[in-house]
Amino acid sequence: MVHNLLLYMIGLSRIKKQIFQIFCDVIFFLTSFLLALVIQNEPIIDFMSANVWFILTLAVIVNLSTFSILGLYRTVIRYISTESIKYVGIGILNSAVCIFIFSQILEIKISINIILVFCLLLFLLSFGTRTFLKQIYTNSLQKNKKSIAIYGAGNAGLQILNAISGGSDYSTKIFIDDNENLIGRRISGINIYSMSQAEKIFSKNYIDVLLIAIPNLSQEVKKRILNQVQKYPMQIKVIPSFKDLIEGTIEVNDLKTLSIIDLLGRDIVKPDLKLMSKNINNNVVLVTGAGGSIGSEICRQSLKYAPKKLILLDISEAAIFSIHQEIIQLLKNQRTQIEVIPLICSVQNKQKIRKILEKFDVETIFHSAAYKHVPLVESNVVEAVKNNIFGTKTLGEMAIKAKVKNFILISSDKAVRPTNFMGATKRFSEVICQNLATQKITNFSMVRFGNVIGSSGSVIPHFNNQIDKGGPVTVTHNDITRFFMTIPEAAQLVIQASSMSSGNDIFILDMGKPVKIIDLAFKMIHLRGLKPFLENSYEEISGDIGIKISGLRPGEKLYEELLISENSIETNHPKIFKEKLSSLDAPELDKLIVILSEACKINDINKIKEVFSHPKIMMDHSGEIIDQMI
């Protein structure tokens, strides 16, 4: 009832709220005076004279006027502070003085004891009622707030606590810290626990959000924390940048939800500026597939190293428009002037490609354009062969004719012992580049890496969409694993690898440890504060989002390989290795290309399979692989 009355009061206009407060203060004043008489055993009837009412009326006017002048009626009750004690005290003191003076003038016996008791009672009613209403309002809000545990009882944790206390959607319940000297202590009335102690609280579902308030925390520590709490359905958030922490500008709205990208990404090795700039600085750089995930990031990274010109090439009008607009805005923000040329063109267009390379005197090509989605390529084999293989061949040959200095092919981990057409086209493209490199006019190099987080075909946005819709999250196989790398890291390593090439090199990027996709699905659901469960399992498990095993797709591998082995050659970069692979002689390769071309013309998929089964293409695993290709 009190809560409903409070909500009704909050909904009143400003004037009505002030009138209501004045009315209540009059009632408090008269009630306090009458109660003071009762407490002092004074007969109330003896004070029911006209002179007493005259004194009380004057005192009420003095009291209300003081409250009004000091701004008590302008103070919002739900935000009332201890400063209001002073205002209430001054008002009551003034009214008490008024009662004492006029009682003396009119010779009415109102004792000092009655006035003192009256002052105490009036203070309790005036300030106490306001504080009581504020507490009821605060408690009612707490019911709708998310309970938060702050991991890190240091300076950042205190800043976050202060920000949250300012009236946000969160209510801090506990601190967590690994420092034994802090465990068991309190900060602003909030207990500090160890992680093991906190888990007992987590198990009772008292905490909705775990906030990691430690700046520059490594990826490994973030993973460890997630592993400790992943069985509890709670969101995990992190503080913003270290710069904001130093400046003391952290606000609640700045808190960032810890994403699976933060956990899959590694602690990135700082790029070597010399390697990053070698093939870009003061060079005319052309990026094919410039609107794609990797191509667009190579464009962004290239801007930092001042190319003479940056040519964006893509077959998609929408993709090229989007990246061109973004690059223009980046240049404005950086106050940099670099000529950026957007071109719509297929890499299979021999005449136009040659004209572009010669017209702009292109010096470095990053060849990212390719059809990469495995199931889609399985359904469109001929188009994938034309684009991925013949497009690479055309671009490479025209690069030699235009005497381009550097040609970097963006390859894939799926090119290793491929079980699908996408991987086979990438491996064939590598062989083409290896062959073209023997002419020693253009420096050809190839870079292999696995899945990039957040790309158009990545499993992560797919899982996010499924979680948004309430599930189920579909995983193709219980044991399927993949390598993952962030797009910026992949682009940086590609650029650095290209600078280390002496010609005809295949570079392998260190992707770290493979990630089990079903574990990835579980963690992504947990990060949303939801409870996952495995559908069709033998155990009766309930939860918020189901995970369903859907079966391997055509051409899909259980495990991807990058072949960083004992035979891999180390480079000057700890995350980049070289592989030496056998290649085909030009006559033998030309024969395969002719067969491949004829097969594409008549849409002969079996003939295309035969070409891909060549030992030098499939790296001596042809029989096993072709049996698996569909």
Structure confidence by residue, pLDDT tens digits, 428-441? 999 999 999 999 89
The answer to whether position 265 is within a domain reads no
Cα-based distances in Å from 15 to 4, 9, 10, 73, 129 = 20, 11, 12, 10, 20
pLDDT above 70: residue 357: yes
- The 3-state secondary structure of 36-87 reads HHHHCCCCHHHHCCHHHHHHHHHHHHHHHHHHHHHCHHHCCHHHCCCHHHHH
Shared domain for 432 and 545, answered yes or no, is: yes
| Whole-Å CA distances, 419 to 228, 385, 427, 589, 618 | 37, 15, 11, 21, 10
Q: Which of 117, 142, 167 is the last residue of a domain?
A: 142
Give domain status of residue 89, yes or no: yes
Is the per-residue pLDDT at 289 higher than 90? yes
Does residue 503 or residue 561 have the better pLDDT?
503
Indicate if 87 and 157 belong to the same structural domain: no
Whether residue 443 sits in one domain with residue 311? yes
Co-location of 415 and 537 in the same domain? yes
Of 170 and 395, the one with more pLDDT: 395
- Tell me whether residue 335 is in a domain: yes
Q: Which residue has the tokens 């071109």?
A: 343
| Pick from 143, 161, 165: nearest CA to 151 | 161
How much is the pLDDT for 623? 36
Q: Of 443, 448, 485, which is closest to residue 370 (Cα–Cα)?
A: 448
**596 & 618 share domain:** yes
**263 within a domain of the structure (yes/no):** no
Judgement on whether residues 126 and 182 belong to the same structural domain of the protein: no
- CATH (domain of 222): 3.40.50.720
Shared domain for 503 and 364, answered yes or no, is yes
Is 266 inside any structural domain? Answer: no
Together in a domain, 159 and 128: no
Q: Are residues 314 and 442 in the same domain?
A: yes
Q: Average the pLDDT over 44-73 and give the result.
A: 77
Strand order across the 473-475 sheet: 473-475, 545-549, 532-534
Active site residue 414: yes
Residues 6+ apart with CB under 8 A from 625: 417, 418, 419, 612, 613, 618
Residue 209 main-chain phi, psi, to 5 deg: -135, 135
Residue 596, pLDDT > 80, answer: yes
Averaged pLDDT for residues 165-184: 78
The region of weakest confidence among 38-42, 134-138, 275-279, 581-585 is: 134-138
Specify the residue for token string 């095993």.
549
In a domain, 383, yes or no: yes
82/349: higher pLDDT = 349
Same domain, 430 and 344: yes
Domain holding 132, by residue range, is 2-142
Boundary residue ending a domain (233, 258, 283): 258
Residues 168, 117 share a domain: no
Q: Per-residue pLDDT averaged across 325-336, rounded?
A: 90
User: Among the options 134, 237, 414, 557, which is catalytic?
Assistant: 414
289, 291, 293, 297 alpha-carbon torsion, rounded to 10°? 100
3-state secondary structure of 288: strand
Burial of 14 (0-12, 13-18, 19+ CB in 10 A): exposed
Say yes or no to pLDDT of 351 above 90.
yes
Q: What is the pLDDT of residue 4?
A: 59
Would you mind telling me the total number of residues written for the chain in this entry? 630
Q: Is position 48 within any domain?
A: yes
Instruction: Tally the domains of the chain.
Output: 3
% of the chain beyond a pLDDT of 90: 26
Please work out, in degrees rounded to the nearest 5, the angle formed at the alpha carbon of residue 192 by the alpha carbons of 186 and 194.
155
Instruction: Select from 22, 628, 124, 4 the least CA-distant residue to 374.
Output: 628
What is the structure's pLDDT at 444? 94
Query: Which of 230, 258, 286 is where one domain is finished?
Result: 258
Local confidence band at 464 (pLDDT 50, 70, 90 cut-offs): confident
Indicate if 250 and 299 belong to the same structural domain: no
What is the pLDDT, as a whole number, of residue 141?
Answer: 55
Rounded Cα distance, 319 and 314, in Å: 7
Token code pair at residue 326: 């973004």
**pLDDT for 527-576, tens place per residue?**
777 878 888 655 545 678 888 888 887 767 787 766 655 667 888 888 88
Of 126-135, 238-247, 261-270, 300-309, highest mean pLDDT: 300-309
Residue 46 belongs to a domain: yes
